[in-house]
């Protein structure tokens, strides 16, 4: 279970626990308030009864009852006769009463469903006075019931901000590590390369060394290209319009010279000239990385197919292999820094490839399809 749980999961669980406690607490408070309001309505009914029987009640009782009635400014209610006809109402929205003829009956039906009507009996000899009090919840109680939802919204919003902030901070740290590592690698490569170039110039003086020096120059040029790629990580590269077909063809030819004998690399394209804004050295790094991963996945035998498709709004590159494949739940994980299936892998190749394509070229790279034991297809998309 631990590999599926991380700090974000614990943070969500903690937030849900707070929300659950808040909902329970406010629900209990709302229930207690509802009971208190029911008692208040019962007292109000008794006060109305006292004023209705004013001729036979003490003056002090009538005064107190009138005060109880006048101080009820929060609980909306209806007073009906024995047949259920509305006699009077209190604490309803006066503006709605004037502008909406059906408002009164709508609220009456709503209150009847909300609370059991309270029977009153103001009967005196010769004057029947039975009826019902139908009441609703006060504004305060309604607010209290919706308050947990407000707290929930605030906590979710706060949680979202925290997750985004921490994720951005982690991403920033990763970027700084990548940039620092790349710059330092380029710097460390530069010094011995300069020395090797100087020694090669001395070796050229001897005619018998020229064949060997020529091969060494190829390797040194390759090392210089690698150092140039590392130096470009972390800085905004200059994009130039290039023919993507030529770029891919040169990389295919380069990798064909370094593949196992039982592996074939094919390149298919419908057009010979597909212009795209590129940083050539960085793009070559991405393609080389994908092909090397495919070679590792096929373990010495299989086929790699690169297909280029030029469409009006996008250009797509599909790189397919016949290797061991990737499980579906790892489609996104393969681009995470540190994720590797190789015993000695650093897990930075695909992560850097994603950074190069998405951040520097405003494109996208993802696992288009994969099936364990049959192979994988990566797709690169460039937008016009």
Q: Is residue 301 part of a domain?
A: yes
> Are 131 and 165 found together in one domain?
no
Model confidence at 234: pLDDT above 80: no
pLDDT tens, position by position, 2-34: 544 566 677 677 777 877 787 777 777 777 777
Handedness of CA 277, 282, 285, 290 (dihedral sign): negative
Choose the final residue of a domain: 219, 248, 281: 219
pLDDT of residue 115: 80
> Are 132 and 155 found together in one domain?
no
Q: Is residue 105 part of a domain?
A: yes
User: Between residues 369 and 62, which one has the greater pLDDT?
Assistant: 369
Residue 68 CA to residue 44 CA, distance in Å, equals: 7
Least confident of 235-249, 281-295, 335-349: 335-349
pLDDT of residue 268: 95
> Are 253 and 283 found together in one domain?
yes
> Are 197 and 312 found together in one domain?
no
> Are 247 and 208 found together in one domain?
no
Q: Is residue 306 part of a domain?
A: yes
> Are 124 and 166 found together in one domain?
no
User: Between residues 258 and 343, which one has the greater pLDDT?
Assistant: 258
Residue 133 CA to residue 119 CA, distance in Å, equals: 6
Model confidence at 74: pLDDT above 80: no
Q: Is residue 231 part of a domain?
A: no
Work out the pLDDT band at 181, boundaries 50, 70, 90: low
Instruction: For the sheet with 364-371, list strands across it.
Output: 263-269, 302-310, 314-321, 375-383, 364-371
> Are 251 and 371 found together in one domain?
yes
Least confident of 34-43, 173-182, 300-309: 173-182
Residue 78 CA to residue 132 CA, distance in Å, equals: 8
Choose the final residue of a domain: 162, 186, 219: 219
> Are 126 and 182 found together in one domain?
no
CATH assignment of the domain containing 332: 3.30.565.10
- 99-113: b (≥16 Cβ within 10 Å) or e: eeeeeeeebbeebbe
> Are 15 and 55 found together in one domain?
yes
Terminal alpha carbon distance of the chain:
44
Q: What integer is the mean pLDDT of 170-193? A: 67
Q: Is residue 50 part of a domain?
A: yes
Contact 337, 318 (CB under 8 A): no
Q: Is residue 225 part of a domain?
A: no
* pTM for the full predicted model: 0.51
Mean of pLDDT over the chain: 78
pLDDT tens, position by position, 114-163: 888 877 766 554 444 677 888 788 777 777 777 777 777 887 787 788 77
> Are 151 and 127 found together in one domain?
no
Q: Taking every pair of C-alpha atoms in the chain, what is the biggest distance, in angstroms?
A: 138
Least confident of 25-39, 54-68, 73-87: 54-68
> Are 104 and 164 found together in one domain?
no
Number of separate domains in the chain: 3
pLDDT of residue 15: 73
Q: What integer is the mean pLDDT of 304-331? A: 92
Residue 217 CA to residue 200 CA, distance in Å, equals: 8
Model confidence at 241: pLDDT above 90: yes
Residue 384 CA to residue 51 CA, distance in Å, equals: 83
Choose the final residue of a domain: 136, 156, 191: 136
Q: Is residue 97 part of a domain?
A: yes
pLDDT tens, position by position, 33-49: 777 777 777 777 666 66
Contact 268, 316 (CB under 8 A): no
> Are 12 and 31 found together in one domain?
yes
Task: For residue 317, give its domain range.
Answer: 238-383
Q: Is residue 269 part of a domain?
A: yes
Torsional class of 126: left (φ above 0), alpha (ψ -120 to 50), beta (otherwise):
left
Q: How much of the chain, in percent, has pLDDT values that exceed 70?
A: 77
């Amino acid at each position: 279970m631990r590999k599926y749980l991380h700090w974000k999961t614990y943070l969500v669980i903690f937030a849900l626990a707070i929300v659950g406690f808040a909902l329970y607490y406010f629900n209990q408070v709302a229930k207690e308030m509802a009971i208190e309001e029911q008692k208040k309505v019962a007292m109000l009914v008794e006060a109305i009864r006292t004023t209705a029987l004013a001729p036979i009640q003490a003056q002090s009782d009538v005064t107190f009852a009138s005060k109880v009635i006048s101080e009820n400014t929060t609980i909306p209610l209806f007073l009906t006769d024995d047949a259920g006809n509305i006699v009077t109402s209190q604490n309803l929205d006066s503006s709605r009463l004037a502008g909406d003829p059906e408002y009164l009956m709508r609220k009456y039906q709503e209150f009847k469903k909300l609370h059991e009507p309270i029977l009153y009996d103001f009967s005196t000899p010769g004057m029947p006075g039975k009826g019902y009090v139908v009441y609703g919840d006060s504004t305060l109680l309604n607010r209290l019931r919706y308050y947990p939802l407000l707290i929930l919204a605030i906590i979710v919003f706060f949680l979202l901000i925290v997750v985004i902030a921490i994720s951005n901070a982690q991403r920033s740290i990763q970027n700084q590590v990548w940039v620092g590592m790349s710059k330092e690698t380029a710097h460390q490569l530069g010094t011995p390369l300069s020395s090797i170039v100087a020694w090669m110039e001395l070796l050229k003086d001897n005619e018998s060394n020229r064949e060997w020096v020529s091969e060494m120059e190829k390797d040194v040029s390759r090392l210089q290209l690698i150092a140039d790629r590392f130096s470009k990580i972390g800085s905004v590269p200059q994009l130039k319009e290039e023919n993507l077909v030529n770029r891919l063809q040169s990389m295919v030819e380069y990798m064909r010279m370094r593949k196992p004998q039982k592996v074939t690399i094919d390149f298919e394209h419908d057009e010979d000239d597909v212009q795209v804004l590129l940083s050539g050295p960085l793009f070559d790094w991405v393609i080389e990385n994908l092909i090397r991963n495919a070679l590792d996945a096929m373990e010495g035998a299989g086929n790699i197919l690169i297909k280029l498709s030029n469409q009006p709004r996008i250009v797509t590159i599909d790189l397919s292999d016949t290797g061991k494949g990737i499980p579906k739940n790892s489609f996104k994980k393969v681009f995470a820094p540190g994720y590797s299936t190789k015993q000695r892998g650093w897990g930075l190749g695909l992560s850097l490839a994603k950074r190069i394509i998405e951040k520097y070229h405003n494109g996208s790279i993802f696992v288009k399809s994969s099936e364990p034991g049959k192979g994988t297809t990566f797709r690169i998309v460039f937008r016009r």
